[in-house]
Amino acid sequence: MAVERVVVPGSVRPFLAAGASTLLLGGLGAAAVRAGGAAPGAVVALALAGLAAGVLLLDLPRRTEVDATGVVRVCLLRRERIPWDRAVAVERQRRRFAGPGTGGLVLRGRRGRWLITTAAEPPSVHAALAAVVAAHAPSVRMRAEPPRTETDPR
C-alpha cells in the first residue's frame, strides 16, 4: 500500500521561544513607553515584539501536511498551500554544531523557501515523506538525509 498523505509534526520549542520573545519585548517596550514616552528604544522594542508575534501567528508551522497535490503548512492563523510545481527540493536545515540529520526540513522552491518543520522528524515520517515525494512529485528532489534516530522532535 502506497503512502498518500503524511503529516510532519511541528516542534513546541519555537512556539515557546517566539511567545516568550513577544511577551518580553512587548513588556519592555510598554514599560519604556510608560516611563518615558515613545523613545526610539521603546518603539524598536514594540516593533520587534510585533514582528515576533507575526512570525508566531502567521509563519511558524504547527504541522505540515504532504499529499499528492503538494504541501500545506498549517500555522496558528493561516494555512498555506504550496503545489508541487512550485517546489524544487526538500532539504534539511543546517545546524553547525549539532551535526547532520538534526535540523528541520525546508521546501526549496523556484522563488523562495518554506519551513516545513524546525526540528528533525521521526525516521518513519521521513520515510513516508520520501515515498510521497517520489510517487507524486518526481521532479522534486529529496535532498534531506534521514534524521538521526536519537533526535527529539519536540
DSSP per-residue codes, 61-92 = -SEEEE-SSEEEEE-SS-EEEEEGGGEEEEEE
Task: Return the pLDDT at 3.
Answer: 77
Cα(15)–Cα(12) distance, integer angstroms: 5
pLDDT interval class at 138 (50, 70, 90): very high
CB count, 10 Å around CB of 36? 10
3-class SS at 121?
coil
CB count, 10 Å around CB of 130? 16
pLDDT interval class at 4 (50, 70, 90): confident
Cα(143)–Cα(101) distance, integer angstroms: 11
Cα(15)–Cα(11) distance, integer angstroms: 8
**pTM of the full structure:** 0.81
**Where is pLDDT greater, at 100 or 25?**
25
